Structure 1
Amino acid sequence: MASVKEKAIILFWAVCLHVDTGSGSCVDLDVTGCRTNPQLCQDPLLAEVTCPVMCNRCPTVPQTTPSASSGSLECYSCQNIKTPSTCNQTQMCSSGQSCFMETTDTVHGVLYHTGCLSNNMCTPPGYEHGIVGRSTEKRQRTSCHECCFGNLCNDHLCTSSKYDCSDVLRSGLSRGSGVYRITPWNMHKEVEVYCDMDTEGGGWTVFQRRLDGSVNFNRNFSDYEQGFGSLDGEFWLGLSLLHSMTSRANMTLRLDMSFSNGTTGFDEYSGFYISPPEGYNVNVDKRINSAGMSDTSLFSDHSTPWDTNHRPFATYDRDVNDCSRISGGGWWFNRCSNSNLNAPYNTNALFYNTMYPGNPKTTKMMLRLSY
């Protein structure tokens, strides 16, 4: 019967992968036990040769205690199952590990693997903190590999789509506010969006942001349809994407703004929906939450000639009543409306009558799946 040392050597040579824990590359061998069994780290040879990354034995990885301790994560742990919901086994992760799920495409269909994995294999380059959705570990025939940080959070990874930022949050994949990749439910391709994970519980998909006037918002209709700007600064996400995301389910619209005197305010509206490309009309039901705003000129009003609700989107090259050419920027105009948060920065044309008088210094428009 082979000794532990012999087993490690056999595993080492079987995959023909060089591991140098001194000064060169330091990676785990592609062995299932290496990824899912923290007890392997208790053996010095296996920890140094077979599973150095998982056991944090690489020179650049801080040493951690391999045994589970109070406060460590509990994760679902099953191998080669066809349905994740059938997994009823769990394991306690070691320090420095998070939960993961992996799918492997086989001739017999998709198989799911769950368990614990080193955080080092779940954090991509450029991110110093937190766990993100897609692991940096690459394996042949692996179609999905995702991590999360929360007790028993890996029961739905690789099985639930991330249609917007609320799905990212509910999937346990949030690393705080920032840029994420999602797949809108009817677009079948990944896109990058900015997720606000701090405001009122998080899960907001930001589709408009003004900060300093660094981006020109006086654009043509095509630009507003496709989106422009930088997700790290000022931007407009795009009418096409807005229509796709709001047509999925009942959405909440939130408008945040601040003024140079330090005043801030926000409005939230239920039933947010952008109609099809014929007009990209904006639609909301009623205001459901507010702070620092008045009770007049609401976004949901539709009884006066200046109300925005149900109006089509207009730009200078696709104008409704010359309002875009007069005020600048693209907006849902109706006799030049009670608001225009896309007007030229630092002008009187940039306003929101529900928080009048004054011109906003910063604005942010967001959507979130209604709960």
Structure 2
Amino acid sequence: MVQSSASSLIFLNIIFFTWADTVFGNVKPCSAMGSSTASFVEGAASPGTNQSADKSQEKKKCYVPCDFQAKVLREEKHYMCRNLQNSLVEYARNTKKMIRNMMDDHQSSLDYLSNQVLCEMEFRGGGWTVIQKRTEGIVEFQRTWSDYLDGFGDLSGEFWLGLRKIFHIANQKTASFMLYVGLESEDDTYAYASYDSFWLEDEACSFKIHLGRYSGNAGDAFRGYREEDNQISSPFSTFDVDNDGCNPICSLQDQQVKSCSNFSEKTGWWFSQCGLANLNGIHQLTRRMLTTGIRWDTWTMDGKPVKIKSVSMKIRRTYFK
């Protein structure tokens, strides 16, 4: 009797666990309780349903509860959006700061230059920056390399702007400049030489000069008539920093010279074996006579170079690059 009862109990347990496995195997965590109950009944009542229907139901199973999955996705999306928003805000802040700093630097440069340069707004449409001016010979141009670097004279009279300032003005990355040389003779006649581009190399290259196409009525003294006269791509030279290319001597006005600057009374210029131009030459103008070493030897009268009373060099922006 005991054996029969134990066998019956074991049999009932096997039936219960089999039924429980069938019921809980069909539980869908994302479904509502009502539909779950229906599934239990359907699973118990018809275990031999269509296999394709079972596969379809299997695909819809969530191994993680769906409400939890949705919450995780929402949090991830919000996290990504916050990061993106913060990145955009930081980028905008940094960009704004960079632009403000650039504008401040640019304004500081303009403020500095506005007090350090002479502008001509009436001459040929305006916009000219005067880099050199000679009139009465009051200011001496017999100067050292250091003087020619930083500039000297008076903006209201005669002056040399300075190689460093000229370099920074003419070598802007966003603009190109032209050069205009205006000449006046002792009998008050005028001539000019214009170059459609003008720029200098940096101080390490001794401010080598570069010029574009010539136009005018004074002749192209920078290039001269002979190859040895050509001053284009020549470094700036003074008596104490000699870059004139006279190795060992040069020929100037049928004379043999060792230094073009020394021969030109210690003035500074873009000498190339001396050449035909030196607008910084010694200059003295009195009521009785004009003593001048200002040279632009392609401007001639009756086959001889014109005696120059005054000169100015101006540059102007031609276009934005």
Match for 2:203 among 277, 286, 302? Answer: 277
2:181 matched to 1:255? yes
Instruction: Answer 1 or 2: higher relative contact order, Cα 8 Å, separation at least 6.
Output: 2
Q: Which amino acid aligns with 1:319?
A: D
Q: Give the distance between the partners of 1:191 and 1:353, measured in 2 at CA.
A: 34
Q: Give the distance between the partners of 2:232 and 2:107, measured in 1 at CA.
A: 29
Task: State the match for 1:208 in structure 2.
Answer: 132
Q: Give the distance between the partners of 2:264 and 2:193, measured in 1 at CA.
A: 23
Task: State the match for 1:312 in structure 2.
Answer: 235
1:52-81 CA distance string (max 9 Å, x none): xxxxxxxxxxxxxxxxxxxxxxxxxxxxxx
The structure 1 segments of at least 4 consecutive aligned residues displaced by more than 4 Å after TM superposition are 158-164, 181-184, 300-303
Match for 1:293 among 218, 225, 235? Answer: 218
Q: Which amino acid aligns with 1:312?
A: P
Q: Give the distance between the partners of 2:111 and 2:314, measured in 1 at CA.
A: 15
Match for 1:345 among 283, 299, 307? Answer: 283
1:126-166 CA distance string (max 9 Å, x none): xxxxxxxxxxxxxxxxx9xxxxxxxxxxxxxx9995799xx
1:90-137 CA distance string (max 9 Å, x none): xxxxxxxxxxxxxxxxxxx99xxxxxxxxxxxxxxxxxxxxxxxxxxx
TM-score by length of 1: 0.48
Task: State the match for 2:191 in structure 1.
Answer: 265
Q: Give the distance between the partners of 1:366 and 1:163, measured in 2 at CA.
A: 23
1:227-276 CA distance string (max 9 Å, x none): 00000000000000111111102110010010111110111102200110
Task: State the match for 1:234 in structure 2.
Answer: 158
The correspondence of residues 143-222 of structure 1 with structure 2, limited to 5 A, is 182-183=111-112, 191-222=115-146
For these two proteins, the number of residue pairs brought into alignment is 192
1:345-367 CA distance string (max 9 Å, x none): 04453210231312211110011
Q: Give the distance between the partners of 2:224 and 2:108, measured in 1 at CA.
A: 29
**RMSD (Å) for aligned C-alpha atoms:** 2.7
User: Where do 5+ consecutive residues of structure 2 fail to align?
Assistant: 1-95, 247-258, 285-290
1:208 Cα offset (Å): 0.1
Q: Does the aligned pair in 1 maintain the 2:133–2:311 contact within 8 Å?
A: yes
Q: Does the aligned pair in 1 maintain the 2:185–2:309 contact within 8 Å?
A: yes
**Secondary structure in 1 aligned to 2:308?**
coil
TM-score by length of 2: 0.55
Q: Give the distance between the partners of 1:266 and 1:252, measured in 2 at CA.
A: 13
The verdict on how the C-alpha distance between 1:213 and 1:343 changes in structure 2, with shifts beyond 3 A counting, is same
**Secondary structure in 2 aligned to 1:354?**
coil
Q: Give the distance between the partners of 2:240 and 2:146, measured in 1 at CA.
A: 9
* The structure with more radius of gyration: 2
**Secondary structure in 2 aligned to 1:370?**
strand
Identity, in percent, stands at: 30
Q: Does the aligned pair in 1 maintain the 2:224–2:275 contact within 8 Å?
A: no
User: Where do 5+ consecutive residues of structure 1 fail to align?
Assistant: 1-108, 111-142, 144-157, 165-180, 185-189
1:198 Cα offset (Å): 1.5
**Secondary structure in 2 aligned to 1:215?**
coil
Task: State the match for 1:22 in structure 2.
Answer: none
Q: Does the aligned pair in 2 maintain the 1:302–1:308 contact within 8 Å?
A: no
The correspondence of residues 43-54 of structure 1 with structure 2, limited to 5 A, is none
Q: Give the distance between the partners of 1:207 and 1:258, measured in 2 at CA.
A: 17
The verdict on how the C-alpha distance between 1:225 and 1:302 changes in structure 2, with shifts beyond 3 A counting, is farther
Q: Give the distance between the partners of 1:162 and 1:370, measured in 2 at CA.
A: 21
Q: Give the distance between the partners of 1:300 and 1:360, measured in 2 at CA.
A: 19
Q: Give the distance between the partners of 2:202 and 2:306, measured in 1 at CA.
A: 33
Q: Which amino acid aligns with 2:275?
A: S
